[in-house]
Amino acid sequence: MSEEELDRLTRELEGNFLTTTAERMLTWARRSSIWPVQFGLACCAIEMMATAASKHDIARFGAEAMRASPRQADLMIVAGRVSQKMAPVLRHIYDQMLEPKWVIAMGDCAACGGVYNNYAHVQGVDKIVPVDVYVVGCPPRPEALLHGLIKLQEKIEREGARRRAT
CATH code at 59? 3.40.50.12280
Residue 137 lies in a domain: yes
- Domain count across the chain: 1
- Per-residue model confidence as pLDDT tens digits over 64-117: 777 788 888 889 999 888 899 999 999 999 999 988 899 999 998 888 887 878
pLDDT band at 9 (very low <50, low <70, confident <90, very high): confident
Residue 15 lies in a domain: yes
Mean pLDDT of 38-63: 78
The reported pLDDT for the residue numbered 125 is 93
Q: Is pLDDT of 163 > 70?
A: no
Kindly state the percentage of the chain with pLDDT values over 90: 27
Handedness of CA 71, 76, 80, 84 (dihedral sign): positive
Q: Determine contact, residues 75/31, Cβ cutoff 8 Å.
A: no
Residue 164 lies in a domain: no
Say whether 57 sits in a helix, a strand or coil: coil
The reported pLDDT for the residue numbered 29 is 76
**Highest mean pLDDT pick, 49-53, 86-90, 157-161:** 86-90
Q: Determine contact, residues 90/63, Cβ cutoff 8 Å.
A: no
Task: Give the whole-angstrom CA distance, residue 155 versus residue 165.
Answer: 15
**Highest mean pLDDT pick, 14-18, 33-37, 63-67:** 33-37
Residue 37 lies in a domain: yes
Structural domain harbouring 154: 3-159
Residue 87 lies in a domain: yes
